Structure 1
């Protein structure tokens, strides 16, 4: 355990400046990636959601940095309860699914689909549901059963959802029904 890095994560905040500073630090000092993944997947660590903020930023352009930690991350995703952790992981899941830099195995894809379906039909907030829809839309291009399932879930209670949900849902429905 590196006290310096744990303190860096603990003292961070949700500001873009703070999160980007740590992201750039980890990119330049890749030996800290293991520690970052350990913090992010340790649900007993009160700062795990802050580590997820950094992973969420890393996955967009440096997806390959997560490869050694994917199994641990995949196992932990359904266990998150902190809203900020769920939101960050929903974005992470999306970028993992559409990445051209890495290839997920079939088990990992199934795990992502399952967690996205859970977020979509569960009590997740709008942002995780929107990212879940976009992730499932990506996989629905190759899985016909998923296209039908996604269509049913979105249309089930579309009228009762927020404007943000509806906007994402319309875009996804347009893509899967094209």
Structure 2
């Protein structure tokens, strides 16, 4: 069955039906979530981003089932280079960081905060930066220093960013003032 999953991932595309089918396969066979995570965190595998698409969809609907795999995700999250994987992982970070069903360890929180700050500073795509902002706002409710850092980064980068970034930044700044 593991080979079946890997074969489907390798043949998959970004189409909604294809991704939904793989997500539903994981929901129907949760014992293969471990294999999906292994595939998605194997950055040497040229198709790891396809597994990240499914991990992202799983995180959106059933965040709690990722609980046994959060350390693995947090250990690799800063190493992604593929834009599609980074975007997906930014959403995974958001779902993990804002979940009411998961209590993150200090290590996990630290890793998620660190990568979100890095994504804001680095030359990443807007969607990744927006999810990083939203995740940081959530963590900033308990860690005020995050809001100060966020204000500084958003204020500094605002002028050079796209309209989408600016709209998200205005919303975030309005929420933390």
Q: For the superposition of Structure 1 and Structure 2, which TM-score range results when normalised by the shorter chain?
A: over 0.9
Q: CA deviation at 1:96?
A: 0.4
Structure 2, unmatched stretches of 5+, are none
Q: Where does residue 103 of structure 2 map in the other structure?
A: 103
The whole-number CA distance in structure 2 between the counterparts of 1:95 and 1:167 is: 21
Counterpart for residue 5 of structure 2: 5
Q: Which residue of 2 aligns with 1:22?
A: 22
Give 1:53's aligned residue.
53
Instruction: Tell me how far apart the structure 2 counterparts of residues 32 and 144 of structure 1 sit (CA, whole Å).
Output: 39
Once the 2 structures are TM-superposed, how far is the Cα of residue 2 of structure 1 from its aligned partner? 2.2
List runs of 5+ in structure 1 lacking aligned partners: none
Could you say what the CA RMSD is over the residues aligned between the two structures, in angstroms?
A: 1.0
1:52 positional shift: 0.3
- What is the aligned partner in structure 2 of residue 32 from structure 1? 32
SS where residue 123 of structure 2 aligns? coil
Shift of 1:78: 0.3
Partner SS state of residue 62, structure 1: helix
1:101-140 aligned within 5 A? 101-140=101-140
State the Cα deviation string for residues 31-62 of structure 1 (Å, max 9, x = none).
11011000000011111100000010010121
Question: Counterparts of 1:143 and 1:69 in 2: how far apart (Å)?
Answer: 25
Q: Give the equivalent residue in structure 2 for 1:43.
A: 43
State how far apart, in whole Å, the 2-side matches of 1:119 and 1:149 are.
Answer: 13
Aligned length: 177
In the TM superposition, structure 1's runs of 4+ consecutive aligned residues that sit over 4 Å from their partners are none
Correspondence for 1:170: 170
